[in-house]
Amino acid sequence: MRFSFLLALLSTYSAWSQSTDSTTTVDIPAKSNFRSSIMQELGCGQAYTRIPNMRAFFKSNQIKENNTLDDFVAIGFGYRRQRFKGSVYASYGLEQGTRSPDNTGQAPLIARRQNFSGAVLFVGYDLANTRNKRVFLNAGFGGIRYEYNVFRATNQAVPFQTILQNNPPGSIPSLFIASNYWDVNIEISQREKRRDALQLVSRFGYRRGFTADAWQSDAYQLIDAPSDRISQFYVQLSLYLSRNYMSRSKR
């Protein structure tokens, strides 16, 4: 008797646990449908920069670069209306580490990227508007300034009062290139779920200068300097803080 009763309980448990309107209950939440958004973004990333002519100059003169990838931080603002978005971003390169002198004290010349800054204006379209994600194709234009200095790191002791009289052979206090460029990227972001939302965003892109520009120096007026059409492949991870709005009739 007890065994039969237990079997009856087990066979009816799933039915008892269901709500009376289980056949009409939707387990997956509805797709959010905010008409527009205002966004602020803070992120970081890495870029691989192509400047072949300047790198050929470094190589031919046995000048070593301290790093081949550029770390940067970025801040941005944007406005989305339905599936279209406009945004503006500014980025700044983080300082790269330098090589230590070798044990012989005759360290090689080092080209250190001392600054990298840029700003870009984008227009984007939401290609894949899914329940949980937005995938934007962004295209825009901007400007970049990319800088180096060349020096030899040694263990030589120099009195500060005489530092202006020291000019180590081969040192170049400033080399920079300033270019305007076009930029295309794919942006994958979490879909906004609430009026105020924090979303994770990843961006994969490529930018390239409109023309080849000559390298310049703040310290010298360069003649016959190499020219480069600067380009960058980059990856960026960011956090969006967005405020989202429904159409007036739905608010």
Q: Tens of pLDDT along 51-103?
A: 999 999 999 988 888 777 899 999 999 999 988 999 999 999 887 665 555 55
Q: Is residue 12 part of a domain?
A: no
Q: Within the chain, which residues score under 50 in pLDDT?
A: 2-3, 5-7, 9-10, 12-20, 22, 104, 249-251
Tokens of 234: 């980059």
Percent helix, strand, coil in the chain, to 5, is 15, 55, 35
Read off the CATH number of the domain in which 207 is found. 2.40.160.20
pLDDT at 3: 46
What residues does 229 pair with on adjacent strands? none
Q: Is residue 19 part of a domain?
A: no
Q: Is residue 14 part of a domain?
A: no
pLDDT at 41: 93
Q: Fill in the DSSP letter of residue 27.
A: S
Give the angle 22-24-25 at the CA atoms, nearest 5°. Answer: 65
pLDDT at 209: 94
pLDDT at 132: 85
From residue 89, give the alpha-carbon distance in Å to each of 147, 180, 195, 229. 20, 14, 23, 21
pLDDT at 169: 76
**Torsion angle in degrees (nearest 10) through CA of 60, 61, 62, 66:** -100
- What contacts 212, CB < 8 A, 6 or more positions away? 227, 228, 229
Q: Is residue 16 part of a domain?
A: no
Confidence (pTM): 0.78
Q: Is residue 143 part of a domain?
A: yes
Q: Is residue 234 part of a domain?
A: yes
pLDDT at 64: 87
199 C-beta neighbours (distance < 10 Å), count: 19
pLDDT at 13: 41
Q: Is residue 140 part of a domain?
A: yes
Q: Is residue 6 part of a domain?
A: no
Total count of domains within the chain: 1
Q: Provide the residue range defining the domain that includes 138.
A: 32-154+165-250
pLDDT at 143: 94
